[in-house]
Amino acid sequence: MISPPRGASRVRPPASADRDRWNPLWQGYLRFYRHHLPEEVTEATFARLIDPKAPLQGLVAERDSALVGFVTYQFHPSTWSLRDYCYLEDLYVDPAARGGGVGRALIQAVYEKADRAKAATVYWMTQEFNAEGRALYDTLARRTSFIRYERL
Amino acid sequence: MISPPRGASRVRPPASADRDRWNPLWQGYLRFYRHHLPEEVTEATFARLIDPKAPLQGLVAERDSALVGFVTYQFHPSTWSLRDYCYLEDLYVDPAARGGGVGRALIQAVYEKADRAKAATVYWMTQEFNAEGRALYDTLARRTSFIRYERL
Amino acid sequence: MISPPRGASRVRPPASADRDRWNPLWQGYLRFYRHHLPEEVTEATFARLIDPKAPLQGLVAERDSALVGFVTYQFHPSTWSLRDYCYLEDLYVDPAARGGGVGRALIQAVYEKADRAKAATVYWMTQEFNAEGRALYDTLARRTSFIRYERL
Amino acid sequence: MISPPRGASRVRPPASADRDRWNPLWQGYLRFYRHHLPEEVTEATFARLIDPKAPLQGLVAERDSALVGFVTYQFHPSTWSLRDYCYLEDLYVDPAARGGGVGRALIQAVYEKADRAKAATVYWMTQEFNAEGRALYDTLARRTSFIRYERL
């Protein structure tokens, strides 16, 4: 593969060798949500992301041999369609790499995966106060009227 | 099984023989969302709901041998947990039967299914302006800060 | 013009002879917003709606020779486009005629006017708690992240 | 004109000679919305802003001979009033100049223009997650319950 010009990011599936470089991104993502995950969950999640047969799928953005972002997604059925829906579960870009199109490239890469899988739609959830994320999402998607409820 | 007292509803999985009684509820639900679904999608959805091997699952509420409500749900993996999440996709109660605990009974029946499956949580989405639904949900679940974005 | 089938509504510009039939709709609309308008404003507004040279434009929905709804709109320039934007200012459907596609037909008629005028977009504002309206709008438009501020 | 004290900003209409100094502000504003505009739109917009006969009007804030902010606005008719409404479309303050009253001065200058034009009101739209902007707007205006829908 021809290397992209310096500064551009390349989006690709994660591989086993990415484990140590993926971890700081994953931890930064969890810190953003002030969420603590047992180490065994992180282990299992990464193992599923690099397993092509697992339903959880992921992509990483690489720039100058550093990982600068990742996204995870999965397909699931819907009562409203004969086609699956694509649920984008996690998205994170290294704060130092923001503003350079990495988040946009990751979302668009999921759109391509969804197109190839003939998914009916792609959707995700974000906190209503996530200003930085929503400024990007508003250019790529529509904010729906739906809010999320969770069992107590 | 001992019959419930007259007026109370019984929640159970849908069966093939429910098709004609389920349809008016499903159509009422779609009208609520002003959504038109091709007949083939409705057919396929009902077929999946009564197929114990299909990932889409459902429950109906029956009262005095009439169907008065239904719920659909599914389990899917999550990057945040070793356990599956339970996604409650659709919920509907016949307007004539509202206010009698049918919606609550359907949600609680899904909670029990989720417990049995050791799901990490149960969640759903609703329109922020769905006053009637939210008045119920607020007693059974917490409104998170998450809003839904959908690909354009 | 061939009459539409009984029950369907026809969307057309208002005419001088509609004044008395338009008024109850306009008053119903104002009541919805609990807004009192001096009679002279109502007079002037109707006069502008039937004046093809005035920037305020309108359409009415007629069914069985009764007016059952109306919409008003206008074009204005934008700093973001060489094309005008189309602002849909008012929309109202007689409560007795709701659920029959009148609101949808009025919005789509404005979309056609906007297309003919090569407008860059069509937009409107609604109260976040307008459940009935938003259930319709969600099928025809996207809820943006924008909220309205007004001078004190 | 007596110069304002050093540090204070002066609000005035833009002039042809401001083109090069206005551009970085305009581009910063577009970056905030992650919006790309063809160069010809920017050209046409600036040309309209300095044309006293064009409906699009603007003001710039100048401090120590640097431009530190701008606002654009326009008047349009309303079905609810015999007077025009004043729509404030764009507002931007150089990040380095924020917190010094520039945004407030620009909004108040529009209020004065609206008073002189006997406008019924002044309004604008902002993203619900624009925390920085809304902290200012809440001191000068009221957040209404209106949200914006846009044609798909």
ipTM of the complex: 0.94
Q: Strands A81-93 and A121-127, how do they pair?
A: parallel
Contact A121, B151 (CB under 8 A): yes
Element (H, E) at D82: strand D81-93
pLDDT at D5 over 70: no
Contacts of A109 in chain B (CB under 8 A): none
Q: Of A131, A106, A115, whose CA–CA distance to A83 is shortest?
A: A115
- DSSP string for C108-129: HHHHHHHHHTT-SEEEEEEETT
Note whether C142 contacts A145, CB cutoff 8 Å. Answer: no
CB pairs under 8 A between A and B: 143
* A57 or A100: which leads in pLDDT: A57
Tell whether C39 lies on the interface with D, counting CB pairs under 8 A: no
Instruction: Give the tens place of pLDDT for each residue, B91-145.
Output: 999 999 999 999 999 999 999 999 999 999 999 999 999 999 999 999 999 999 9
Provide mean pLDDT across the span A65-88. Answer: 97
Instruction: Give the tens place of pLDDT for each residue, C132-146.
Output: 999 999 999 999 999
Query: What is the distance in angstroms between the Cα of D3 and the nearest Cα belonging to chain C?
Result: 29
Note whether A76 contacts B87, CB cutoff 8 Å. Answer: yes
Token pair recorded at residue B146:
């998450």
Tell whether C138 lies on the interface with B, counting CB pairs under 8 A: yes
B94-98 long-range contacts, Cβ below 8 Å, gap at least 24? B94/B25, B94/B28, B94/B67, B94/B68, B94/B69, B95/B28, B96/B68, B97/B9, B97/B61, B97/B63, B97/B68, B97/B69, B98/B132
Instruction: Give the tens place of pLDDT for each residue, C20-72.
Output: 999 999 999 999 999 999 999 999 999 999 999 999 999 999 999 999 999 99
Q: How confident is the model at residue D55 (pLDDT cuts 50, 70, 90)?
A: very high
Token pair recorded at residue C57:
């434009």
Q: Could you give the residue ranges of the DSSP H alpha helices within B3-87?
A: 19-32, 39-49
Query: What is the distance in angstroms between the Cα of B65 and the nearest Cα belonging to chain A?
Result: 25
Instruction: Give the tens place of pLDDT for each residue, A20-44.
Output: 999 999 999 999 999 999 999 999 9
Most A-contacting residue of B72, B139, B148 (CB-CB within 10 A), to test interface: B148
Q: Of B33, D65, A108, whose CA–CA distance to C137 is shortest?
A: B33
For residue A3, what pLDDT is reported? 43
Contact A88, B150 (CB under 8 A): no
Most D-contacting residue of A139, A140, A147 (CB-CB within 10 A), to test interface: A139
Mean pLDDT of chain A: 94
pLDDT at A6 over 70: no
Separation CA B2–CA A76 (nearest Å): 38
For residue A7, what pLDDT is reported? 62
Most C-contacting residue of A121, A136, A139, A143 (CB-CB within 10 A), to test interface: A143
Note whether D35 contacts A139, CB cutoff 8 Å. Answer: yes
Tell whether C129 lies on the interface with B, counting CB pairs under 8 A: yes
**Terminal-to-terminal C-alpha distance of chain C:** 49
Q: Could you give the residue ranges of the DSSP H alpha helices within chain D?
A: 19-32, 39-49, 102-116, 131-140
Token pair recorded at residue D28:
């910063």
Report residue C64: phi and psi, to 5°: 50, 45
How far is Cα of residue C17 from the mean position of the Cα atoms in its chain? 19
For residue A110, what pLDDT is reported? 98
Structure letter (DSSP) for residue A113: H
Note whether A129 contacts D131, CB cutoff 8 Å. Answer: yes
Instruction: Give the tens place of pLDDT for each residue, B29-61.
Output: 999 998 889 999 999 999 999 999 999 999 999
Residue D76 bridge partners (DSSP): D85
For residue C7, what pLDDT is reported? 61
Residue labelled with tokens 């990011």: A9
Q: How confident is the model at residue B7 (pLDDT cuts 50, 70, 90)?
A: low
Contacts of C131 in chain B (CB under 8 A): 127, 129-131
pLDDT at C121 over 80: yes
pTM of the entire predicted model:
0.91
Q: Of C141, C144, C122, C145, whose CA–CA distance to C57 is shortest?
A: C122
